[in-house]
Amino acid sequence: MKIHILPPAVADQIAAGEVVERPASVVKEMIENAIDANATQIDVFIKDGGKKLIEVRDNGTGMDPEDAEKCVLRHATSKISTIDDVFAIRSFGFRGEALSAISAISNFEIVTKQEKDDAGTCVKVDAGKLISNSPSPANNGTIFRVKNLFFPVPARLAHLKNSGTEMAAIRREFESFALTHPHIGFKLFRDETVVLDFPIGKQFDRVTKVLGEDSSALIPVEGNLPAAKIHGWVLQPGRCGTSKKSQLLWVNGRHIDDHKLAWAIREAYHQTAGIEKHLYPKFAIWIELDPLLVDVNVHPRKTEVKFSEPGDIWSAIKNTVTSGLQRSERSSLSAGGTVAQFTESQTPHRTSSFRSPSFSGGQKRSAANFSRELFTQPKSFSDLHAERSGAIEEEPAPVGKLQLVGQVAKKYILAEAENGLWVFDQHALHERQRFEMFWNDRETLLKEKQTLLVPHTPQLDEEQRELLLKKRDQLNTLGFELDENLNVIAIPSLFTEKDLDMLLADLSEWIGDEQIGEHTSDKLLRKILEYKACRGSVMFGDALQPEEMQKLLDDFQTTQWRNLCPHGRPNHVFWSFEDLDKEFHR
């Protein structure tokens, strides 16, 4: 074949693949444009997960008839003129390719009017071909209607997920903008019903709503560095969970996925509060940088950015979160009467700072070492249990009397035994004990169900509903009764209706986690009981009375799988006096 230049519509359809991956990408581009046009109210209407219709209305500047036609051309932008402008960009758009791409692969319509004009304009484009440009009644601002997305490229259409999943992605995109722009009102409609409504208001209110947390569960973080300003909110360490959702980061107002920065935040939790790294805090954090220090032009969909000093940003974010956590810890310490108050420098922050060389001989009881041994030679008590916790003792070895010394930093319980010193993670310890109680009683627990007075419709997004539906039959053998629309008719007596939304959201997350392997009924049951065990347990950060602590210590004597919490974290470390003596060269 001889070389020929592709017709612009075909070139646009190819390029569209880079910008528009799915309906949510259209929503993103349209909202960005509306914000760039100074809108104060943005309404998004979705039909059939965006496959039928994506409509975005704004009350921004609008366009005149000439621009309304020009804006769908490739490289049509009012935002930059030279390449240098890209590096100082403050608006979202600059590539001038979103509208050309979207209009190349849909039935596209613009209705727009500027305040100074009497009449508006309506421009129609089908698969990149201009159909009409005519005067039209319009309010000030712009309406974009995208119908039948991907119809000229059926191969792309086939790649779309079902409507519920596409809607969930749209919702995440929408929330990201709503969180960042509290001075703009946002409404999301699904098939004509409002599903999210954010009136103009405080950023914090939007954050609590989107993260689904009480305001008291969130800790503000703030960093004012010469090259970066950081602000946002992070979750109380004791409430970290296994879900990676709700880890939200923005750089100069752009929502980004950056695993390294998320890791920096987990590192701060680990070092400050001893939170294990497989537990994830929810957070919403905004980083403002000099635009010259960050390259936003590395990815056509702009979900990644390149920092000129990535290491500095990493430390900046880690330090900011660390000091937020420390500040909150100090204020909660001074508020409660703890048995033993340690200053920060005296508190062992890192679990890894429990040094191991001295555990090499004699009575090594460091949970980490202990569980490692057990991982290599598991005795079978219950294979099911072994799959995740590894630590199994058929008969727990006697510990001897444990004498309470006190509580440290509202997190750890110190106890003296005849032969050494025990330090317990109070949450992990209690959680393990509760889990065992439920696990041992599981047969009876499952038989006791309660029928709800009125069926409960869980608060779940489409993605979560679909995941749960896959396991409906199994859940129905485990004390739940869910109808085919996931309305909850009955629940195991061990739960209350109040637990349901969180529990089901948690389960859907677990069902979606491919690392679990096969999601058998036994594992599902275990997960449900873990949830129950975790929720009712004393938290990291709870001040405990001496009697409460002594009770935990007494119960530890009969705890079967003693070394780990249900999630597989150690719940204690032990130093024999012999080891301590050696440490001090006695």
What residues make contact with ligand ADP under the rule CB under 6 A? Answer: 29, 33-34, 37, 58, 60-63, 71, 76-79, 93-99, 142
Q: Interface with Mg ion by CB under 5 A: which range of 25-33, 46-54, 337-345, 452-460?
A: 25-33
Q: What SS3 state is found at 400?
A: coil
One symbol per residue from 291 to 320: x for binding Mg ion (CB under 5 A), - otherwise; what is it?
------------------------------
Among the residue ranges 94-102, 217-225, 414-422, 431-439, the one whose residues contact Mg ion (CB under 5 A)? 94-102
The site partner of 58 among Mg ion, ligand ADP, none (C-beta below 5 to 8 Å per kind) is ligand ADP
The rounded distance, in Å, linking the Cα atoms of 60 and 78 is 15
The partner in contact with residue 61, picked from ligand ADP, Mg ion, none with C-beta cut-offs of 5 to 8 angstroms by kind, is ligand ADP
**Min CB(100)–ligand ADP separation in Å:** 6
In whole angstroms, how close is the CB of 144 to ligand ADP at the nearest point?
A: 7
Q: How far apart are CA 262 and CA 317, in angstroms?
A: 9
SS3 content of the chain, % helix, strand, coil (to 5): 40, 20, 35
Looking from the CA of 522 toward its CB, the CA atoms found within 13 Å total 9
Residue nearest to ligand ADP (CB): 93
* 33 lies in the site for Mg ion, by CB under 5 A: yes
Nearer CB in complex with Mg ion: 100/247: 100
CB of 189 to ligand ADP, least distance (A): 18
* Residue 78 contacts which entry, Mg ion, ligand ADP, none (Cβ below 5-8 A, type-dependent): ligand ADP
Which 8-state DSSP code applies to residue 184? S
For the bound state, the minimum distance from the C-beta of residue 113 to ligand ADP, rounded and expressed in Å, comes to 10
Largest distance between two CA atoms of the chain: 93
Are 101 and 19 within 8 A, CB to CB? yes
Between CA 478 and CA 524 the distance in angstroms is 9
| Residue 71's binding partner out of Mg ion, ligand ADP, none, with CB under 5 to 8 Å set by partner kind | ligand ADP
Smallest gap from residue 117 Cβ to ligand ADP (A): 13
Q: Using CB distances below 5 to 8 A depending on partner kind, what does residue 60 bind out of Mg ion, ligand ADP, none?
A: ligand ADP
Nearest residue to 235 via CA among 215, 255, 249 = 215
Collapse the DSSP code of 138 into the 3-class scheme (helix H, G, I; strand E, B; otherwise coil) and give the result. coil
Binding segment for Mg ion (CB under 5 A), chosen from 91-99, 267-275, 414-422, 490-498, is 91-99
Q: Which of the stretches 88-96, 348-356, 508-516, 529-537 binds Mg ion when contact is defined by CB under 5 A?
A: 88-96
Residue number, 93 or 185, with CB nearest to Mg ion = 93
For 573, the token pair is: 């470390």
Pick one of Mg ion, ligand ADP, none as the site partner of residue 167 (Cβ within 5 to 8 A by kind). none
Whichever of 36 and 425 has its CB closer to ligand ADP, that residue is 36
Q: Of these, 23, 49, 60, 93, which contacts Mg ion (CB under 5 A)?
A: 93
Q: CA separation (Å) from 395 to 375, 381, 392, 398, 561?
A: 17, 10, 9, 9, 9
Whether the Cβ atoms of residue 407 and residue 543 lie closer than 8 Å to each other: yes
Complex with Mg ion: residue 33 or 366, whichever CB lies closer: 33
> Which residue's CB is nearer to ligand ADP, number 121 or number 464?
121
Instruction: Give 159 or 299: the residue with its C-beta nearer to Mg ion.
Output: 299
**Of residues 21 and 530, the one with the C-beta less far from ligand ADP:** 21
C-beta of 151: minimal distance to ligand ADP in Å? 20
Please give, one letter per residue, the 3-state secondary structure of 442-491: HHHHHHCEEEEEEEECCCCCHHHHHHHHHCHHHHHHCCCEECCCCCEEEE
Question: 471 to each of 173, 325, 442, 476, 504, how far by Cα in Å?
Answer: 28, 38, 19, 9, 11
Cβ nearer to ligand ADP, comparing 121 with 322: 121
Nearest to 206 by CA among 222, 188, 229: 188
Q: Which does 76 bind (CB under 5 to 8 A by kind): ligand ADP, Mg ion, none?
A: ligand ADP
Q: How far is the CB of 116 from ligand ADP (least distance, A)?
A: 14
At its nearest, how many Å lie between ligand ADP and the CB of residue 12?
11
Closer of 25 and 77 to ligand ADP (Cβ): 77
| 430 touches, from Mg ion, ligand ADP, none (C-beta below 5 to 8 Å by class) | none
Token pair 């290599």: residue? 376
**Cα distances (angstroms) measured from residue 288 to each of 236, 249, 251:** 24, 11, 6
CB of 174 to ligand ADP, least distance (A): 16
Question: Would you give the DSSP letter of residue 241?
Answer: B
Residue 436 CB, nearest approach to ligand ADP (Å): 57
CA distance 54 to 20: 13
- 570, with CB counted inside 10 A (0-12, 13-18, 19+), is buried
Residue 397 · residue 527 · CB < 8 Å:
no
- The least distance separating Mg ion from the CB of residue 486, rounded to whole angstroms, comes to 38
Which residue, 436, 430, 454, is CA-closest to 393?
A: 436
Count residues binding Mg ion (CB under 5 A): 3
β-strand partners of 285: 232, 249
- Span interacting with Mg ion, options 93-101, 142-150, 211-219, 469-477, rule CB under 5 A: 93-101
User: At 247, is the secondary structure helix, strand, or coil?
Assistant: strand
Q: Which is nearer to ligand ADP, 260 or 301 (CB)?
A: 301
Amino acid letter, residue 235: L
The nearest distance, CB 186 to ligand ADP, in angstroms, is 14
Chosen residue from 42, 98, 285, 296 binding Mg ion by CB under 5 A: 98
Question: Which residues contact Mg ion by CB under 5 A?
Answer: 33, 93, 98
